[in-house]
């Protein structure tokens, strides 16, 4: 008799990092939430609030289940919500994809990588610390560097400003295909 169920190899989790609430909705730091909202819209999904600490939606792709997760615990403690959800759904940590903003990439650039350091991103660090695992997939979405004299924190917690940035963030289109 097994005490713990096996991790599910056909279950995927896409985590979008951001901060909850309307005050943060259009911040650069909320690109992860924006990407997941785009996926939900394009698949006519509705969000469900669970345990008050995250919103989730679900997609079925043939024999695979893909969960979308938006932690509502604020960026710096996102890992708590991710750890709770993965323990309930028995998600294999190899099947976790985290979508987040990245100041080390120019605006609009996207990079995909598995594992590595947190790059100073406190939301990613929280997930690594909570799961004690760093080899999940990261989708890094560039927001560029802050202008001289503006702190990194103030920059990412500020709304998209210029017309180009607003247009890109408002028209973000993300689809999901696991093959």
Positions marked catalytic: 29
SS3 173: coil
> Which residue is associated with the tokens 């099947």?
95
Length of the chain: 179
> Which residue is associated with the tokens 């987040």?
100
Two tokens at 76? 């710096």
Burial profile 147-160: b = 16 or more Cβ within 10 angstroms, e = fewer = eeeeeeeebbbeeb
């Amino acid at each position: 008799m097994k005490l713990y169920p096996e991790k599910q190899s056909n279950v995927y989790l896409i985590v979008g990092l951001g901060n909850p609430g309307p005050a943060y909705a259009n911040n650069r730091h909320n690109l992860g939430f924006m990407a997941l909202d785009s996926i939900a819209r394009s698949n006519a999904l509705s969000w469900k609030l669970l345990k008050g600490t995250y919103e989730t939606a679900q997609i079925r792709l043939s024999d695979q289940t893909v969960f979308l997760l938006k932690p509502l615990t604020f960026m710096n403690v996102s890992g708590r919500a991710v750890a709770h959800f993965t323990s309930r759904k028995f998600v294999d940590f190899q099947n976790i994809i985290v979508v987040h903003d990245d100041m080390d990439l120019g605006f609009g650039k996207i990079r995909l990588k598995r594992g590595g350091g947190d790059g100073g991103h406190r939301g990613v660090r929280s997930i690594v610390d909570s799961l004690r695992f760093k080899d999940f997939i990261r989708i890094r979405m560039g927001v560029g560097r802050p202008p001289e004299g503006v702190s990194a924190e103030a920059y990412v917690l500020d709304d998209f400003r210029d017309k180009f940035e607003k247009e890109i963030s408002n028209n973000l289109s993300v689809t999901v295909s696991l093959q």
